[in-house]
Every structure is written in structure tokens, then in C-alpha cells.
Amino acid sequence: MSEKINLIAVCGPNASGKTRLGVELALEHDGEILSVDSRQVYRGMDIGTGKDLEDYDTPSGRVPYHLIDIVEPDQNYTLWQYQGDFYRAFREIDERGRMPIAVGGTGLYLEAVLKQYEIPDIPENSELRGELMQLSKEELEKRLRECDPELHGRTDTTNKKRIVRALEVEFYGREHPVRWGHENPPNIRPLVIGVQWERQELRRRIEARLDARLEQGMVMEVRGLMDRGIGEQRLDQLGMEYRHIARFLCGRVEYGPMREKLLGDIGRLAKRQETYFRGMERRGTPVHWVKGGDIDAAREIVSGALG
């Protein structure tokens, strides 16, 4: 098995059924789940981030999972940290003779570990980010080009947040040494499965999932974070669910409009996720697509790859 493939990855947009598919494959191939989600790392953010922890409990026992609930929500957790934690967990699973199965919708995180991107190890500067985000993408790109033409050439300048991050790296590096990447990353040979749905059906699933999460107590989850001292600014950074619900709890918006805005944002995120995974294909990572969460099709793909 390890001669060819030593990692199965299941990716796709929100509400596509990635976790359940990953769990099914883990049961069949003696696997353990590696979460590929930029927010599921935070404790106390269960409903809003869609951890779906109940999916890991099966009639055959609990499927082990990793990289979930590992930091507090008031801590900044960087992509560099995630990359290192992923590599450590991958090695531990592999050394146990089990199959690592990466599951999630944060495309940048998945691509960073599969392609071993050399991520800079620098802290986030919230004040600087706030100032830079006030500028236009064109102004930011010009500033980055003037500051560091080489870094400009290595930055995705179609994405404003990534230009801001590059400038953050540039400014930090003027006064501190910057460490890039991790020493001796593992040799990962992945099989990537992408879950896709017809656009209208995906929208229906997203709306049904949002309403289910609201009924499960997502508003109370956000209130609990606020009661623990997590401020509105930090909640805004933790994603759209926490941003919109915090505004509702602070009296800035009524419940109905809050739900509609949140639903629209989740739909737009799903579209960006799909676009990112398609981009991964163009950048050289083969993705085997299955329609409608077709478990049998995924099983066939995995069985063929493992031989």
C-alpha cells in the first residue's frame, strides 16, 4: 500500500459530505482522519466550524481524528504551525501502519502540505493588517513590488489577503530573521478525491445545514465565546458564522437579515472553495472527482490506486 499512495485526501466545498466520506474510507482502509480546516483547530468552536464530531462515532467504533481542538480561540494559529502539526501527525499515523486520510475544505492548507510550501514562521500583526486592508489591491501590489520584487513575484497578487500577508512578512523581516518552511518534511504521495454537487443541490444542502446548525445552538456557542472574553474583533477574524452572529448578539442586525447574509456568505465561500480545488488541478495536483458524495465511486478510485 505504501509503495504508491500513503495519503488519501478528501476535499470539497461546505456541506458536500466530506467528513462522512472520509470516515467511510477510514473504516475500510484502517485510517485516521487529519482535519484540513483553518478553524476546526480551535476549541469551543464546534457548531460554527462544522466539526461534526458525531460522524466519527460509528457502529464499528470511533475513527481517530487529529488537528481538531488543539488551540484556544484567542490564540493566533498560523499556516506555518498547521503545516508542522500536520507533518507530525502524518508521521505518527504512518508509523503505526495506518492510512492518513486528510479531510477538509481549506484548499490553501491542503495544498501547503501536499506541495510542502515554504511558509514563513512569523506572527500575525493585527494592527498592521487592519491598516493595509484599508488600501486597494492595486496600491498593495505596488507597495509590495517596490518593497521586495522577488517576494512580489512569488505572491498570488489576485488575492488581497495574500498581498497583505506578503507585506506583513516583508515588514517583519526588516527587523527579525524569518524562518521558511520545515526541515525534512515527509514524502507524501497523495490520492486526492474531490466531492462535487450540482450548484442548485449544493445551495439546498448549504441552507439546510445552516438551519440545522442554528437549531443546534450556534448562536449560544457564539454567546459562550463572548462570555469567555472573546471580543467582537476576534470573532470577526474567526469566520463568517462568528462575525454575523456576534453582530446579531450586539444588536447591530436582526435575526432574519443575519441569517440571510450568513447564508449568502457561505454560498460564496463554497464557490471560492470549488474554484480553489480546480486551481489545484491546474497547478499540478490530480483530483479525482466524485459526484453527489458517491461513496461507491470513491471506494473504486481508492481501491484502484492502492492496488
Q: What is the pLDDT of residue 53?
A: 95
Cell of 92: 505518527
How far, in Å, CA of 135 to CA of 157, rounded?
A: 14
**pLDDT higher than threshold 80 for residue 294:** yes
pLDDT digits (tens, 9 = 90+) for 111-164: 999 999 988 888 888 888 889 999 999 999 999 999 989 888 878 787 788 899
Residues of the chain with CATH 1.10.20: 120-180
How far, in Å, CA of 16 to CA of 292, rounded?
A: 8
Closest residue by Cα to residue 87 from 106, 115, 62? 115
pLDDT digits (tens, 9 = 90+) for 269-292: 999 999 999 999 999 999 999 998
pLDDT digits (tens, 9 = 90+) for 220-246: 999 999 999 999 999 999 999 999 999
Mean pLDDT of the chain: 94
Q: What is the pLDDT of residue 2?
A: 44
Taking CA atoms, 149 is separated from 153, 165, 173, in Å, by 6, 15, 14
Closest residue by Cα to residue 274 from 68, 58, 107? 107
How far, in Å, CA of 221 to CA of 48, rounded?
A: 8
Residues of the chain with CATH 1.10.287.890: 199-269
**pLDDT higher than threshold 60 for residue 107:** yes
**pLDDT higher than threshold 80 for residue 1:** no
pLDDT digits (tens, 9 = 90+) for 178-225: 888 898 999 999 999 999 999 999 999 999 999 999 999 999 999 999
Looking at CATH, the fold of the domain delimited by 120-180 is given as Histone, subunit A (1.10.20)
How far, in Å, CA of 54 to CA of 223, rounded?
A: 23
**pLDDT higher than threshold 90 for residue 45:** yes
Q: What is the pLDDT of residue 3?
A: 67
State whether the Cα torsion 128-133-139-145 is positive or negative. positive
- Give the ranges where the chain is alpha helix by DSSP (H): 18-28, 79-95, 107-114, 126-132, 137-147, 149-153, 160-173, 199-216, 218-227, 232-237, 240-249, 255-282, 295-306
Domain 199-269: top CATH class: mainly alpha
Cell of 63: 475513527
CB within 8 Å of 73: residues ≥ 6 apart:
42, 43, 44, 45, 225, 230, 234, 238
CB within 8 Å of 250: residues ≥ 6 apart:
232
